[in-house]
Amino acid sequence: MKKYLLNLFVATVVACGLSFTSCSSDDPASPLEVDLNKTATISGTILVNANVAEEDAEDIKWSAPASITITASVDYSELNTQATSGSYRVNGTYSSSTGKFEIRVPVGANGSIVA
């Protein structure tokens, strides 16, 4: 019984010691700043051929898709030198009647790769 109590006491001391040790709070995460004053505008027109069968190849009818979402992303590391991972995503505008779209994305000082 004494050995059981000794083991229980040791386990309790170890559990308390582990629960009171934690990560240091000396290095809090700071918010990532993205300069939204430096942007690039990407615009264009998206049209699809509704007649995809070969026998209709002469009767091509281009039209705007009914509903799509235009999204672009730029790696945070291209926008802020302190960033290590992640990406900045932004949605654009799209007109289903004309197929025209426009999207404004932030860029770094030396340009950025937009995906």
**pLDDT at residue 9, rounded to an integer:** 65
Q: What is the pTM of this model?
A: 0.61
Which pLDDT does position 114 carry in this prediction? 85
Report mean pLDDT in 10-residue bins for the chain, 115 residues.
65 65 59 80 88 66 86 87 84 91 87 82
Three-state DSSP state, 98: coil
pLDDT score, position 45 = 93
Query: How far out from the chain centre does Cα 89 lie?
Result: 5
Per-domain residue ranges of the chain: 34-115
Q: Mapping DSSP to helix (H, G, I), strand (E, B) and coil, where does residue 15 land?
A: helix
